[in-house]
Every structure is written in C-alpha cells, then in structure tokens.
C-alpha cells in the first residue's frame, strides 16, 4: 500500500518550485502596486477638492493665471470664491496674456479682484514697477496688489539681503503711489528663509503652505494659500486656493 501510494503521487517537474515562488512573488508585487496606485489616486482626488473649513475661515478665494485657460468666472464664484488674485506682470516686460480679460470677467461675475506681480531678482525695481504700472490700472475697488517673491529658474542672481530690501522698497513705493494703497508681499518659504523679507519690509503678508498653516515669517499671515492643487469646474488645470485670516482685512 505504501509503495502504491508513493507510485500514485504526481511527479514534480524540475524547477517547478522556484517558478511557483516567483509567480507568487510577482502576484504579491502586482497586488501591492495596485493598492499603491489606488492610494495615490485617492490622495490626488482628495487634494483636488480639499479647502479649509469655511466655519473657521469664512472668506476664501482663488489664484488664477493664463494656465487656467478661458476661465468661467460664474462657475468660480459658484464654487465659493469670494475674491480672486490674478497674475498680472512678471519682471520688467512680461504680462499675463489673460490678465485684462480675467479681471474684467471676474468683476462682472461679482468676484472682487487683485493683481499679482512676480518679482525678479535679475531686473531693476524701477523697470519692474514701470511694467506693472503700464498694465495694471488704478481702481478704488481693487484689492491691494501682491508682490510674489520666489526663486525662478530663469534668474540665477542672488543679491545681498540689503540690496534686495532696498530694491523691493523702491518697487513697492512706486506701485503703491500708482495704486493708491499699500501692497501685500508673498514670499515663499525658501525665499523668506534666505532674505527674511517679512522682518525687513513692513507689509501685510500672504504666506504659502499646502494643507497646513504656514509657520514661517516674522509675524502672523493675513492670507494663506492653503492648497495649490484645487481643481474647479470653470478653470483648466489647478488653481491656488486662499483664505483670509478671520477678522483680517487686506483692503
């Protein structure tokens, strides 16, 4: 009986054990990969929709530029945007091609607007101010202009802090004389770490950090870009989503 039982066993082909082990390992890897893809997809879905609690931050708005295409401002307002900051000028000669249209269409939809200038470390403050003044009209109902301060791959210059603060003060004085109100400054974390602009320039600050309140700057932020990955019906790509500090005023 024992020998018959032995003779009845299915013969094992040489190498089948390691092939089976590899197949099982590959199946496990495939399963893990699917789970990771699902998790990544869920994270992207969540990031595209997350905004801070409106009970905590009642006034919220968007950052828009030409990359958002032909923006449908009625849809942006319906999504909960109380205000919009629109990219206007960059350095001493660039202007966002959609700036004028976006400003007009946003106001017509009942969305309060303000202009952004992206400051360049490679160009003179007076030339940049002339570019801003040439393209951004003075309006009593406009939000204060914002000076966006960050590094740019197109510009390798890294001036001293003293020179940067001096030039920035010149730029602010000129555009504020044109606009009739003080501007906001919006330094990114790395820029602020090197230049400590919020210590050297006495202006209201707009700070940036996705999903968590910013913890940099010399004094509390007035506005926070809380999510740079929001997707809205009515705009191509992603928009920046911003909140105003409760009881704050940037006008």
pLDDT in tens, 165-199: 999 999 999 999 999 999 999 999 999 999 999 99
Q: What is the pLDDT of residues 48-99, one digit of tens each?
A: 789 999 999 999 999 999 999 999 999 999 999 999 999 999 999 999 999 9
Q: What is the pLDDT of residues 149-163, one digit of tens each?
A: 999 999 999 999 999
Indicate the pTM of the whole model.
0.83
What CATH number did the domain enclosing 145 receive?
A: 3.20.20.80
Do residues 93 and 137 both lie within one domain? yes
Range of the domain at 78: 55-244
Do residues 105 and 68 both lie within one domain? yes
Count up the domains in the chain and report the number: 2
Q: What is the pLDDT of residues 4-42, one digit of tens each?
A: 444 555 555 555 677 777 767 767 776 666 656 665 556
Do residues 59 and 173 both lie within one domain? yes
Q: Which two tokens stand for residue 143?
A: 């939000």
Do residues 86 and 183 both lie within one domain? yes
Q: Which residues pair with 56 in a beta bridge?
A: none
Residue 251 resides in a domain: no
Residue 250 resides in a domain: no
Residue 50 resides in a domain: no
How far is residue 229's CA from residue 44's CA, in Å, rounded to a whole number?
9
Residue 144's nearest CA partner among 155, 134, 132 is: 132
Cα radius of gyration rounded to whole Å, the chain: 27
Residue 120 resides in a domain: yes
How far is residue 53's CA from residue 104's CA, in Å, rounded to a whole number?
29
Do residues 212 and 161 both lie within one domain? yes
- Span 107-113, mean pLDDT? 97
Q: Which two tokens stand for residue 30?
A: 């495939």
Residue 219 resides in a domain: yes
Looking up tokens 């202006």 gives 203
Alpha-carbon distances, residue 190 vs 124, 193, 207, 227, 238 (angstroms): 22, 5, 11, 17, 22
How far is residue 81's CA from residue 134's CA, in Å, rounded to a whole number?
28
- Span 207-215, mean pLDDT? 96
């Amino acid at each position: 009986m024992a020998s018959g039982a032995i003779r009845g066993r299915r013969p094992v082909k040489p190498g089948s054990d390691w092939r089976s082990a590899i197949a099982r390992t590959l199946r496990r890897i495939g399963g893990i990969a699917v789970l990771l893809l699902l998790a990544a997809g869920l994270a992207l879905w969540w990031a595209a929709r997350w905004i801070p609690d409106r009970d905590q931050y009642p006034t919220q708005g968007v950052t828009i530029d030409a990359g958002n295409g032909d923006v449908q401002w009625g849809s942006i307002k319906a999504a909960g945007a109380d205000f919009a900051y629109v990219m206007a000028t960059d350095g001493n000669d660039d202007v966002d091609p959609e700036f004028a249209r976006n400003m007009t269409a946003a106001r017509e939809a009942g969305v309060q607007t303000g202009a952004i200038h992206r400051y360049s470390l490679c160009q003179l403050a007076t030339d940049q101010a002339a570019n801003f003044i040439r393209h951004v009209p003075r309006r009593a109902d406009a939000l204060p202009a914002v000076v966006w301060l960050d590094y740019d791959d197109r510009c390798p210059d890294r001036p001293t802090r003293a020179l940067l603060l001096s030039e920035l003060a010149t730029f602010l004085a000129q555009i504020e004389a044109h606009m009739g109100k003080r501007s906001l400054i919006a330094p990114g974390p790395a820029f602020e770490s090197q230049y400590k602009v919020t210590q050297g320039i006495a202006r209201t600050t707009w700070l940036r950090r996705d999903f968590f309140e910013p913890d940099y700057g010399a004094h509390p932020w007035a506005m926070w870009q809380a999510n740079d990955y929001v997707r809205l019906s009515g705009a191509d790509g992603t928009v920046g989503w911003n909140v105003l500090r409760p009881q704050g005023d940037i006008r």
